[in-house]
Amino acid sequence: NKWNFQFEHKLFHSFIFFFYALLLTFNRLHLLLKKVRKKYDGKICIVQKFPIHLHRI
């Protein structure tokens, strides 16, 4: 029973570590997505402005 408790405790710790690592990975991905979205938003804005200029001609 004591061994079982120790095993569960280790499992709990590894789960917390895994969850923390996952959280960090998601945070990094989120930051990357933000950067990419900023770049693409700039391009989309430029693309959206072009048809307006074409319609005016």
Count of C-beta atoms within a 10 Å radius of residue 15: 10
| Confidence tier at 54 by pLDDT (50, 70, 90) | low
DSSP state of 30: H
SS3 11: helix
Question: How far is the C-alpha of 57 from the C-alpha of 49, rounded, in Å?
Answer: 13
- 10: nearest Cα among 21, 23, 26, 2: 2
Residue 56, pLDDT > 60, answer no
- Kindly report, residue by residue over 3-52, the tens digit of the pLDDT: 777 888 888 889 999 999 999 999 999 899 888 888 877 776 667 666 65
Higher pLDDT, 7 or 53: 7
Question: How far is the C-alpha of 39 from the C-alpha of 35, rounded, in Å?
Answer: 6
pLDDT of res. 17: 93
pLDDT of res. 55: 56
pLDDT of res. 28: 92
